[in-house]
Structure 1
C-alpha cells in the first residue's frame, strides 16, 4: 500500500484504530477521523509509530449534516489522493424497540447516516483512483434479538447499502464490502473483563470468556471474543488490491458464532 492514502472514519479507537495501524504497517498514508480532537491526534501518533508514511488526525462528527463531506475532502487534500475509506463507527441503538423517537433518531444518525454520508462524500475521490470502501455491519444482523433490535436493524441497512454501492459503482472500478464483527474486546468489553474478574473472583485471563458464556449465552466456535487487531487486519485486507475481485460482500468475523 506504499504510495496510497486511506481515511478511517471512527479511527481514533477500537477496530478503527486497529485498521489504521494495519494500513500503516503496509506503508500507507492514513488519516483518522474521530469526534474528539485529542483522541484523533493521539490515534494519529500511534498510526505513525506503526509505520505510516504519514498520519493525521481530524476531528469531525460525520453523523451531522455537512461534516462527512468536510472530513473526507480535507483528508483527500492532506493525502493528495484517496484510495480507500473505512467507516468503523456506529454503536448507538442498543436499546429496546419502545425507546422514544429521540433515541431512535440518534441511533439512525450514528449508525446509518454517518456511514451513508461518508461513503457519498468519498465516491468522487474513489472514482479517480478506482478505490475501495469498507463499512461496518454486525454479527447481530444475522441473529437479531430484542434488546438490541434497533442496532441490528440499522446495521442490516448498512450491509444492504454497501452491497448497493458495490452494484451501482462497480463499473467505475469501486469496490465496497462490509465487515460484520461478533463480540470484539474493544474498550467496553475489556472493562467488563476486569469487573467480572474482581466481582466473581474469576482469573483475569478467562473472566470475560466465562461471563460471555454464563451471562449472555455466548456460543462461538472459537470460545473467545475477537481482538480489535484481528478485525483491523480484515478491514485493511479488504481495502487492499489483494481483494481486487471481492465486492458486494458482508464478511462475518464472529469466531464461528451460530
Structure 2
C-alpha cells in the first residue's frame, strides 16, 4: 500500500536502529524525505545511506542524545530547517532499564530524562513545524504500562507518562489539524533481544532458532498469544502508517503491538 508520503518530510528520533529505523525505511520505500536522530554519528551515517538506497527522496542523520537538555531542540530544529519543515515526527527512544522500585533518586532521574523527557522535548521542538502542515506525531510507550514488572518499574512508570502526554497533545492540537498517537510495543527483537538470543543459544548449547521463544514463555512467563517476539519491521510498518495520511482519522490512540499479551 502506498503511504502517500512521497516528498513529505519526517524526522525519526531513534531512527538509526531498531523500530525507528524500520519505520524510516518504510517511509523511504514510498519516497519520503527523512532525518534520523540518534546518539551514534557513525551508525546514523550508515542508516541515512541505507534509507537513500531504499528510495528516500532525501535522507540524512543528526547526532544527538535527546535525554540531555537542549539536544532535542537543536536536533529537531536542524532537521526541520534542512527539510524545509516537517510533516511528522516519530519518537522511538527510551532505553529499557532493569531498575526495581528500590533504586535511588539518581536512577529514577536518569530514567525520567531518557524515557519521558526525551520524548517530551522532541515533540515540543517539532510542534511548531508540524502544526503548520497539520502533521502527525507518533510516540512509543510499552505494553508494560498496563502490566508493570517490578524489575522495570521506573521504565514502565515513565512510559505511562509518554502515553498520557501523547493523549494530551492529541486533545490540545487536534483542532489545529495535528494527529498524535502512541504505539505500545511488547517484546520486539531489536539489538538487545537479538543479542540475548545468541547468548542463550551459546550458553545452553542449543540452536538460536526457538530458544528465545521458549525462554519468553517458560521462564519469563510472558503470555504472548503468538509465542514469539515481534520483528522491528512489524512495529516499523505500524509507526510509518500512523505518520502517513492513510491514518487520517486516527488520533489520541494507544495501539498495542505485543503479539497478544494480557493487558
Q: TM-score, normalized by length of structure 1?
A: 0.98
Cα RMSD (Å) of the superposition? 0.9
Report if the CA contact (8 A) 2:217-2:224 is conserved: no
Of 117, 125, 129, the match for 1:121: 125
Task: Output the CA distance in 2 between the equivalents of 1:153 and 1:11.
Answer: 23
Of 203, 208, 211, the match for 1:204: 208
User: SS of the residue aligned with 2:209?
Assistant: helix
Task: Output the CA distance in 2 between the equivalents of 1:204 and 1:109.
Answer: 35
Report if the CA contact (8 A) 2:170-2:179 is conserved: yes
Post-superposition offset of 1:92: 4.4
Q: Which residue is 1:20 aligned to?
A: 24
Deviation per CA, 1:72-125, whole angstroms, max 9, x where unpaired?
A: 111011111200000000014431111111111110000000000111101100
Large movers: runs of 4+ above 3 Å: none
Report if the CA contact (8 A) 1:4-1:81 is conserved: no
Q: Which residue is 1:169 aligned to?
A: 173
User: SS of the residue aligned with 1:44?
Assistant: helix
Post-superposition offset of 1:227: 0.4
Whether 2:51 is the aligned partner of 1:71: answer: no
What is the aligned length? 258
Q: Which runs of 5+ in 1 are unaligned?
A: none
Whether 2:119 is the aligned partner of 1:107: answer: no
Farther off after superposition, 232-241 or 62-71 = 62-71
Task: Output the CA distance in 2 between the equivalents of 1:253 and 1:127.
Answer: 27
- Residue correspondence of structure 1 range 23-172 to structure 2 within 5 A: 23-172=27-176
Q: Which runs of 5+ in 2 are unaligned?
A: none
Distance 1:93 1:199, change over 3 A: closer
Post-superposition offset of 1:64: 1.4
Deviation per CA, 1:203-234, whole angstroms, max 9, x where unpaired?
A: 32111111111220121111100000000000
Q: TM-score, normalized by length of structure 2?
A: 0.96
Deviation per CA, 1:45-78, whole angstroms, max 9, x where unpaired?
A: 1111211111001111111111111111110111
Task: Output the CA distance in 2 between the equivalents of 1:142 and 1:235.
Answer: 20
User: SS of the residue aligned with 1:216?
Assistant: coil
